[in-house]
Chains A and B, each alone.
Chain A
Amino acid sequence: MTPSAGADWSIRRRLLAWLLTPLLLVCAALLAANYVQARHTADLTFDRLLTASILAIADRVTVVDGRIEADLPSVALEMLSSTSQDRVFYRIGGPGGAFVTGYRDLPGPAAAVPGRIRFDDADYRGEPIRVAALARPLAPWGLEGEVRVLLAQTRGERDRLTRELVLASALRLLVVVVLAGLITGFGVRAGLAPLAGLQRSIRSRSPTDLSPITQPVPREVRTLVDAINQLMERLQASLDAMQRFIADASHQLRTPLAGLQAETELALREHDPAALRQALARLLAITRRTSRLASQLLSLARAAPQGGAPVLAALDLGTLAAAVTREAVPAALAKDIDLGFEGGAAARVDGDPLLLAELLKNLIDNALRYCPPQARITVRTRASEARSATLEVEDDGPGIAADQRERVLERFYRPPGTPGEGSGLGLAIVREIAERHGAVLTLADGAGGRGLRVRLDFPAPSGAEPRSAPPTAGADR
């Protein structure tokens, strides 16, 4: 009955088992001890009668003409039988085991010390008996040796007294066990009442209520409630972020869709094929922008922590960056921008290849978008000592003013006076993905104080094994 056997046992059952099992064992031990004690008490009580009887008999043993004679006092046997219904046996023997009178084959303690009464348990005529033995020297009558008196009675009354005593103590113990069971039952119920209250208050909450649990709870449950509160806090934050994101996204999508609608209405009114064509071209541009916005929103949703845990696997940042850069080369060529890649030693990181590629695409895209022709964009990866790998995208374009560098990382924020039709999501996506990888994102001036250098320091990989997202990812949001 080890409570560890049932991991799904209720706390009440555990407590009852842990409290009542030892109690029952203790009671059983007490009962056994009581039995021994009761038997001892019964023997003590009835042995006194045997003592009085055997002394009365021994006092009446005399020697007449060299022969041992016993004038058995009837009161000696009456003493034994008046209080009990037990059989009585006696034997009087002389020196050298000679038989004088009584029951010739009555067993008794082997050698009694003269003057001292010895008691022993034995079996006689198929019944357990208690035998007292007393030896008296025959010297007063001028004889050698000693007379040995055995007096026995069956154990009936002793056993009855023992049973009575044990039964009484068993009844008392039973009362104790029953009371302890009841008290334990009520105590456990009272002790677990706060949990039931907690359960009720959680159950009665509305599904949207994620406020912390504030009701007072016992110390033992405090940590559990704190953990729940933290979870709810994070859940609330996630939910808030999601709602903000949905609001932002729908707001951002409404603008190009309104443009699309206006442009389409305009085009419908156009009769001139050339003008119609122009309108269609504008429509296409708007559609492209909208489509890009949608895909950016999608990648942002994927990067967001509530979008499901990413599988981080060991990968070489250099190889990945080189591939992404290569893909962007045609777009760079089209804008007459010099896009270069500098890869050092293998830069190993734990990461999601799709998200990392998205990150780098956004950085290159940003640089291409805001840099004038003939600008230089350099993608750089290297393995450093403090951080295992670093990814840098540096350009010599207009850069971002130092006081705007925090804010450009927010969604949909575009520094005032920014040209072009950006959605303001690119760097927000970068930040989101960087956070998911535990990487440190730094925005700085480019070489020679011109342009922008975006730097990502990745933490050291945990090894070849894949691992779950670092606990700090998103926690500081």
Chain B
Amino acid sequence: MTLLVRLLLLVGLIWSLPPRAEVAHFPPRPQAFVSPRDISLEEGPLTIYGATDLDFMRPLLEAFQQRHPLIDLSYHQLGSTELYERFVREADGGAPTADVVLSSAMDLQIKLANDGYAQPYTPPAALPAWSRWRDEVFGFTHEPAVIVYNRALVPADEVPRSRRELLRLLEARREHYAGRVGTYDPERSGVGFLFTSHDAELSPDFRRLAAGLGAAEVQLFGSSAAMLERVADARLLLAYNVLGSYAQAWAEREPAIGIVLPRDYTLVMTRLVLIPRAAPQPRLARLFLDFLLGEDGQRVVAGPAHLYAIHPGVDGELTARRLRALLGPALQPIQVNPSLLVYLDQAKRRRFLQQWRQALTGPRD
């Protein structure tokens, strides 16, 4: 990709994610041997680069280390573009790099696999076909894009259940909602770009919706957390295309937050994990993926990690299984395949953002 794209992504990253890289270290815990559970004797350092907040990852990493107490686990939390660039730099330069790379930037993960940086791996269970590519990249979460609203300020009969209802609401009560609606800024957030660009492809009402949002003086944010924070404290009444996993985690703390899964279609993104070809500890990396994609790990994903499990055998509130039962064919997973590469193309990206801005400021009726 061109330097300009990298710059753009980097700029987006700086705005959208915590500005500094964090390293969480989970040293080996030999005392865990007192546990009566069957314990693995695997040992060695395992390095994970992740673009997912440590808050979400910590339960997973701890559960993994409980099963493999002798593994010296390090989790490097990085911005998705920073992660990509650092990894490619290390892999190309032959420097020691990560054993596992996981990121919500589906396009960049696909690019890593397409460019031959990932090694093949056989996952433990029958993951859905759309969530894996080439036996090299695997989705391990199943996170819906949701509409979040403030329960106290949006009456139950006004809560939009679909994009069309949202559009009608914005048109009908423009004064009430003006300046109090939020959504992702696709220019600043990778996930936001992913959702908005897929909306543009999937929704026949995309231009009207964008125009409606623009007319409602929509506020644009670089992260789900920023939107959730403002919905919780009533600075916003409603936020469109918020990551369901974050919304769920917030909703548990903040009773004011209500969540809607759009009935017309609900976009689903998945965080992708891969084992680099240059992984220093591929055996331990496979152990980690065995756990992460297996039923045990997926239960942690659905439970303490709040990330929505993708494994069809895992049931619970935050699972693909529950979402499918709720929404059926309205679930629109973002396919894990090289078509994601087009959004890394600078011209494509610039053109799309231009269209998006035009739609926002488009002719108001």
Contacts and interface: CB of A to CB of B under 8 A. Distances in A.
A81 B339 contact: yes
A70 interface: yes
Contact of B339 (A69, A74, A102): A74
Given A81-B133, A81-B338, A70 B348 contact: yes
A70 B339 contact: no
A101 interface: yes
A463 B70 CA distance: 106
Contacts of A125: 115-116
Among A81, A82, A85, A101, chain B packs the most CB atoms within 10 A around the CB of A81
Contact of A81 (B337, B343, B346, B351): B337
Given A69-B351, A85-B134, A77 B339 contact: yes
B337 A78 contact: yes
Interface in A36-92: 69-78, 80-82, 85, 87-89
B2 A126 contact: no
B347 A87 contact: no
Interface of A is mostly: mixed
B135 interface: yes
B219 interface: no
Contact of B114 (A73, A75, A88, A126): A88
A74 B342 contact: yes
A342 interface: no
Contacts of A144: none
B341 A101 contact: no
Contacts of B339: 74-78, 81
A127 interface: yes
Contacts of B337: 77-78, 81-82
Contacts of A81: 133, 337-339
Interface residues of A, number: 23
B345 interface: yes
A348 to B, nearest CB: 97
Contact of B338 (A87, A126, A127): A87
B365 interface: no
Interface in B323-363: 335, 337-343, 345-348, 351
B341 A85 contact: no
A8 B342 CA distance: 73
Interface in B37-76: none
A77 B351 contact: no
Contacts of A74: 201, 339-340, 342-343
A415 to B, nearest CB: 114
A77 B342 contact: yes
Among B113, B114, B339, B348, chain A packs the most CB atoms within 10 A around the CB of B339
B116 A72 contact: no
Nearest to B336: A81
Contacts of A71: 347-348, 351
A250 to B, nearest CB: 100
B134 A87 contact: yes
Contacts of A82: 335, 337
Nearest to B134: A85
A72 B348 contact: yes
B197 to A, nearest CB: 8
A102 B116 CA distance: 16
B117 to A, nearest CB: 10
28 contacts: A71-B347, A71-B348, A71-B351, A72-B342, A72-B347, A74-B343, A76-B339, A77-B337, A77-B341, A77-B342, A78-B335, A78-B337, A78-B339, A81-B133, A81-B337, A81-B339, A82-B335, A82-B337, A85-B134, A85-B135, A87-B116, A87-B338, A88-B114, A88-B338, A88-B341, A101-B2, A101-B345, A126-B116
Given A77-B342, A81-B338, 11 more contacts: A70-B348, A74-B342, A75-B339, A76-B342, A77-B339, A82-B335, A85-B133, A87-B115, A88-B338, A100-B347, A101-B346
Nearest first, the 6 A-B pairs at minimum CB distance are A78-B339, A81-B337, A72-B342, A74-B339, A88-B338, A77-B339
